[in-house]
Amino acid sequence: MRPLKIKFYTHETEYWLMLIKESEYGSDVNYASLLEECKELVRMLVSIVKTSKDLYGSKK
């Protein structure tokens, strides 16, 4: 998965989390926690992709 696709899915996830928060279905605490977890997962995935490219070369 390319970093650009990861960022796309992250923005989509953040959008859905925001909708849940604004619909008052979830609490602010849950929203903040889930948003932080989402961002942490993105950082990990981007790091994995970059490391893989460095180790195995970029294949298109």
Work out the average pLDDT over 33-38: 87
Contact assessment for residue 14 and residue 38, using Cβ atoms and an 8 Å cutoff? yes
Query: How many Cβ atoms from other residues are within 10 Å of residue 18's Cβ?
Result: 12
Work out the average pLDDT over 18-28: 80
Whether residue 3 is predicted with pLDDT greater than 70 in this model: the reply is: no
Copy the structure tokens of residue 20: 């849940």
Ramachandran angles phi, psi of 25, nearest 5°? -75, -35
pTM of the predicted model, to two decimals? 0.63
- Torsion of Cα atoms, 16 then 22 then 26 then 27, to 10°: 130
Copy the structure tokens of residue 28: 């602010």
**Mean pLDDT of the chain, nearest integer:** 79
pLDDT of residue 38: 84
